[in-house]
Amino acid sequence: MKGLLGLALGVAALAQTVQSVEAPQPAPQTAAAAAVPAPAAPVSPGQASFDRLKTLFGQWEAPLGNGKTIVDTFQPFAFGSAILAEEWVGGEQVTSTVFYVVGSELRADHYCDYGNQPRYFAQPSDDPNTIDLAMRDVTNLETNPRHFHATTWHLTDATHMTQDWQVEGGPKGSGSVHLEFVRRETAQS
């Protein structure tokens, strides 16, 4: 019996030793300390521009000056990682542009009615309501040289936007297209 009593006392002493060696427990947080959120990671300029483009979801219209209207639609896809912008004239789709972020850079791939595919990147802007897209590269330029070389969008307010497109190449030379859009419909959530 002495052996069992000694063993029991030894186990109790070992348990006390293990408890004293364990790491100290942190003090409970106060309600104020628990309510302070962790600092948010900084948003890159490309992500900020992409987030600004998300405010365009829905349908926009601009007069073309020849009695026709161009209709731009914006919608998310790929679980919100990209934005599809389509242009329609007279019920016919004429272009599509896909916006997405690579690293910290906003990019846009434009499938054009000129038969080529310009790819753009957003240049830094001090104005969060301006998206300035410069040429990164273009495919099919050798067979379809007329192309939209760059574009600048001014997101004026929740219902107004302008787009200025710089046109280069082809027999007509350089030029520009200015479009003044008004929101007609907001996308359904």
Q: How far is CA 56 from CA 28, 35, 59, 73, 134, in A?
A: 46, 33, 8, 8, 20
Q: What pTM did the predictor assign?
A: 0.77
The CA distance from 80 to 101, in Å, is 11
Contacts of 93 (CB under 8 A, 6+ apart): 86, 87
Contacts of 56 (CB under 8 A, 6+ apart): 74, 83, 85, 155, 161
Q: Which range is least confidently modeled, 23-37, 46-60, 76-90, 137-151?
A: 23-37
Q: What is the mean pLDDT of the chain?
A: 86
Considering only CA atoms, which of 122, 147, 116, 154 is closest in space to residue 136? 122
Q: Which range is least confidently modeled, 33-37, 84-88, 148-152?
A: 33-37
Six-digit token string for 119: 């790819």
| Average pLDDT, integer, range 61-87 | 96
The pLDDT of residue 1 is 47
Contacts of 156 (CB under 8 A, 6+ apart): 129, 162
Mind listing the domains of the chain with CATH numbers? 45-186 (2.40.128.20)
Six-digit token string for 182: 């008004």
Q: 5 pLDDT band (50/70/90 cuts)? A: very low
Task: Tell me the per-residue pLDDT of 145-181, one tens digit each, with 9 for 90 and over.
Answer: 999 999 999 999 999 999 999 999 988 889 999 999 9
